[in-house]
Amino acid sequence: MTAETVDVAVVGGGPGGAIAAMLLAREGREVVLLERAPRWRWRACGVFASPAGMAALRDVGLSTESLRGVAEPLTAMEVISPRGIRFRLDYGGTGDLADSAVGFHRASLDPVLLGLARTAGVDVRVGANVDRVDIASAHARLVIAGAEPGEIVARVVVGADGLRSRVAAAARVTRRAPLGPRAALTFHVRDVPGRLRAGVPAARMFVFEQGYVGLAPVPGGLVNVGIVLGRPWFARLRQVGGREVARAVLEALPREEDRALAAQEPVDHVAGITPLGHAVARRAGSSWVLVGDAAGFLDPFTGEGLHRAIASARLAAEMVSEVLSGRPGARLSDYDRAMRARFGTKDLVSRIVQAFLGRPALFEYAARRLAARAQVRETMGLVIGDLAPAARAIDPRYLAALLAP
């Protein structure tokens, strides 16, 4: 079988893969994007984008108008502790798509991004399952299974294939997730009472014993439900399944209007994933780079997924283009350093947040102070929304203001 040769092969057609492919094609590169699903299907994925994430989408060519019907504005996240302490993390904005955080309907967003990639000249192939990736110093070879099997030799392969990345596995950089074993469930229900949309809607995050659940309005009168569960829930998941566990979690919520969602049948299947989280030793080698969740994923509580996918795709496309152009001194390993510089501190903040979540008494202590201290709460909202440097949340003066009695 004669192998096809291209400049760049992108494995995975989610936001990170589509954006990386589109940007590289705009630079004149021959790019093929390989997406294993023959058509879009619901799977466990992020729906939240901060104002910074929305700005990044506009920077790569999505107009505000093109996002109407794809995204629903969110002005804040309301967090409720197990003992009922409530605080609101504001993201700023007016409630318009032009300056607000949003909840995305991924069944609409992902096809829009793939369409932009096609328009830029990317050869998008759906139903193309990458069965094997062989990485060499000067190129990568991909073996495609399915209805149209074949082989592709690429000067660079971009792994945008999520938490179970074949590209990361081929590069032998996959590591155990740093936050321990957890499971995630995600699905949509209809917001029949409509109460989640009273005024300008906010996302809600309810913390409970060994887990938390997030509710986010998305277009189409739907609510995205995302549930993260610690190890003590695993036995129950095996016994009764994800749908019944999700129903029990929703039925235990403190607000009547939120508990009402438990009676709504999911409009798509309850998608699950375990273990949740993914770590890599490095994000680039001589002929490969990793973007999006494939480049490492910690936790959805701090809303890192979509913005990181967009930012990593842009950084990767810039570095790959420089390497393929033969710029003196350009190396793909520079992308790995750029990602560490960009997200290393935010990862530390995520670990600190998880340390609080894992210790109920400590979380309640912090929740009471966030509820009572407006300036401290405002800083945390800006950091979570990627509107302020993550270093502000670990500044000793900030930690003192948060934790002092």
CA atoms within 13 A on the CB side of 97: 17
In whole angstroms, give the CA distance from residue 90 to residue 75. 6
State how far the Cα of 133 lies from the Cα of 26, in Å rounded to an integer: 25
- What pLDDT was estimated at residue 39? 85
* CB-based contact 379:393 (threshold 8 Å): yes
SS (H, E, C) the chain: CCCEEEEEEEECCCHHHHHHHHHHHHCCCCEEEEECCCCCCCCCCCCEECHHHHHHHHHCCCCHHHHECCEEEECEEEEECCCCCEEEEECCCCCCCCCCEEEECHHHHHHHHHHHHHHHCCEEEECCEEEEEEECCCCEEEEEECCCCEEEEEEEEEECCCCCCHHHHHCCCEECCCCCCEEEEEEEEECCCCHHHCCCCCEEEEEECCEEEEEEEECCCEEEEEEEEEHHHHHHHHHHCHHHHHHHHHHCCCCHHHHHHHHCCCCCCCEEECCCCEEECCCECCCEEECHHHHCECCCCCCCHHHHHHHHHHHHHHHHHHHHCCCCCCCCHHHHHHHHHHHHHHHHHHHHHHHHHCCHHHHHHHHHHHHHCHHHHHHHHHHHCCCCCHHHHHCHHHHHHHHCC
pLDDT the model gives residue 195 = 57
Residues 282 and 209: their CA atoms lie apart, in Å, by 34
Q: Which residue, 252, 212, 253, is CA-closest to 367?
A: 212
- Pairing relationship of beta strands 279-280 and 86-90 according to DSSP bridges: unpaired
Q: What is the pLDDT of residue 188?
A: 92
Structure confidence at residue 32 (pLDDT): 97
Q: Give pLDDT, residue 72.
A: 86
Q: For the purposes of burial, counting CB atoms within 10 Å of the CB of 78, is it exposed (0-12), middle (13-18) or buried (19 or more)?
A: middle
Side chain identity at 176, as an amino acid letter?
Answer: R
Give the residue ranges of the chain where pLDDT is below 70.
1-2, 92-94, 147, 179, 193-201, 298-300, 302-304
**Two structure tokens written together for 16:** 């990170």
- pLDDT of 200 reads 45
CA-to-CA distance for 174 and 165, rounded, in angstroms? 8
- Give the model's pLDDT for residue 307: 85
Q: Report whether 204 contacts 257 (CB < 8 A).
A: no
